[in-house]
Amino acid sequence: MAGTTLIAAGGTGGHLFPGIAVAEEIERRDPEARVVFVGTARGIEARILPKAGRALELLPILPLNRVGLAALARGLLALPWGLLRAALLVRRTRPQAVLGVGGYAGGPIVLAAAIFGVRTVILEPNARPGFTNRVLKPFVGKAACAWEEARAYFGGKGVVTGNPVRGGFAALDRRPHRAPFTLLVFGGSQGSRILNDAVVAALPFLPGTETLSVIHQTGEATRDSVRTAYAQAGRAGEVVAFLDDMEARLGAADLVVCRSGATTCAELQVAGRAALLVPFARSADDHQRVNARAMQSAGAARMIEEKDLTGGGLAEAIRDLLADPERLRAMEQAARRMARPDAAARVADLLEGKAA
């Protein structure tokens, strides 16, 4: 795909990593293509993309949805300057297409591109479209949707593509599921205090380290306290703030305990990994519960709601699944049946104007 493509993706890994997957597909098709990411200084993109050697433009945008009155006022005051900066960026880079991957960072750049007549596509990974994508609906050319429910919301602009994940997930081998097992725990790019506390409470009830090793991604804020809790429980475990190598970690996992954001679910599906999903109870439009329920209904995961989450109950669920390799394999097969490993290619087609 010749020329420049702008990808507005950031804030959290759930927004950023699908954008990276699409960028990889664009570059695979045309090594001369230029992909420039657009985000904010406060998002995960400011840390991840420069380390990966990717071009990143920062805009002075603040969130407007699900924030307090003071934060809303700051966001509204920053909006005109952010829109102007977005317009200047579009004029300077002259992209042939712009992709918005949800989140507040994407709004101004997609809107500016639409005003200048640039081909625009938004990616909606959830069954219920998010705030930014709802606002952008009248202005964009196409909406790439992971779920039919979202496609219906966007009418003729909606195309079911799936949620893009990086290519390494589809190449992961199937696990034999025998001791010693590996449990992977993560709560999204920023971690989850509720999930961390539940896993720590579960440690005394889990099989010993000779049978079960634990990889636990906590988020920066609670890494040290969780490490201390592991030591106090006499439990060895790899406790880290963030996982830069999620493909390899999923490849080594017999079972995953995690949240149920759209990107996490898509990665589990393409990788074919069984999971215990704990949806974030206050997610926008309750989308995590919707995602987890869909995975559970398909037989690909088991859902434990926050209100039912206890250390003992979580440990029991982990023990039950690890003791039943056939059930783990069945869950993995169900996850793969839900997967759309070609989602990045489908979104790239929309950016190229090839798909209806």
The domain limits of the chain are: 4-165+341-352, 169-338
Question: Model confidence over 53-99: pLDDT tens digits?
Answer: 999 998 877 665 666 677 666 666 767 777 888 899 999 999 999 99
Given this model, what pLDDT does residue 75 score? 60
Given this model, what pLDDT does residue 78 score? 65
DSSP readout, 236-298?
Answer: --EEES--S-HHHHHHH-SEEEE---HHHHHHHHHHT--EEE---TT-GGGHHHHHHHHHHHT
Answer for the pair 130, 124: CB distance below 8 angstroms, yes or no.
Answer: yes
Sorted by sequence, the CB contacts under 8 Å of residue 126 that are 6+ apart come out as 146, 147, 150, 262, 285, 287, 290, 291
Answer for the pair 273, 338: CB distance below 8 angstroms, yes or no.
Answer: no
Domain 4-165+341-352 class?
Answer: alpha beta
Distance set, CA 230 to CA 182, 225, 235 (Å): 16, 9, 5
- pLDDT of 105 > 80? The answer is no
Domain 4-165+341-352 identical in fold to domain 169-338 = yes
Mean pLDDT of the chain: 90
Residues 221-245 have a mean pLDDT of 92
Question: Model confidence over 264-323: pLDDT tens digits?
Answer: 999 999 999 999 999 988 886 788 998 899 899 999 999 999 999 999 999 999 999 999
Given this model, what pLDDT does residue 287 score? 81
Considering the domain 169-338, what is its CATH architecture? 3-Layer(aba) Sandwich (3.40)
Measure the CA–CA gap between 320 and 327, rounded to whole angstroms. Answer: 10
Q: Tell me which residue of 121, 149, 241 sits closest to 187, measured CA to CA.
A: 241
